[in-house]
Every structure is written in C-alpha cells, then in structure tokens.
C-alpha cells in the first residue's frame, strides 16, 4: 500500500453511511448550544433555551427523515 493510499484510508470514515453532526440541518443550533455552555462555564440552566431549540430542530429533522423513508420499501 502506498503512502497516498494509506492517507486516503485513514481519512475515510470507518462507517461511511453514518451521519455527521456537521451535515445536519441542526448544526447551527448545536453549535449555539456548545457556545452557550462555554460562555456560561457549563452552567446548563442558562442555556436551556438553546437546548430546546436544538431538540425541536432534531425532532423535525427526524420526522422529515421518517416521512422520506415511508415511501421506500425494503422489498421493492
């Protein structure tokens, strides 16, 4: 295996189909939650609004994914 092939293999995800948080439509809300935690020195109570917005976004994202998958069939 050449050095370039090894470099490519090490950069490839071990689970190529796994979703990354940065690919999510909710990434801005996720990042805002983390920024809030940093700003308030991990005081979760001051960041609850950010957590709620992120949670709602993930819920909508999950519902949209389920709706898309509803039309698919494993046996078609």
Q: Where are the domains of the chain?
A: 44-70
Contacts of 29 (CB under 8 A, 6+ apart): 50, 53, 54, 57
> How is 1-25 classified by DSSP, letter by letter?
--HHHHHHHHHS-SSTTS--GGGST
Residues of the chain with pLDDT under 50: 1-2, 4-10
Question: pLDDT tens for residues 32-50?
Answer: 999 999 999 999 999 999 9
Contacts of 43 (CB under 8 A, 6+ apart): 37
Residue keyed to tokens 């994202």: 61
On whether the CB atoms of residues 26 and 58 are closer than 8 A, the answer is yes
Task: Say what the pTM is.
Answer: 0.67
């Amino acid at each position: 295996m050449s050095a370039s092939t090894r470099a490519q293999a090490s950069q490839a995800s071990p689970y190529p189909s796994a979703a990354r948080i940065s690919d999510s439509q909710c990434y801005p809300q996720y990042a805002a939650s983390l920024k809030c935690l940093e700003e308030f020195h991990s005081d979760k109570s001051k960041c609850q609004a950010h957590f709620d917005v992120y949670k709602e976004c993930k819920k909508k994202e999950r519902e949209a994914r389920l709706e898309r998958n509803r039309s698919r069939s494993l046996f078609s």
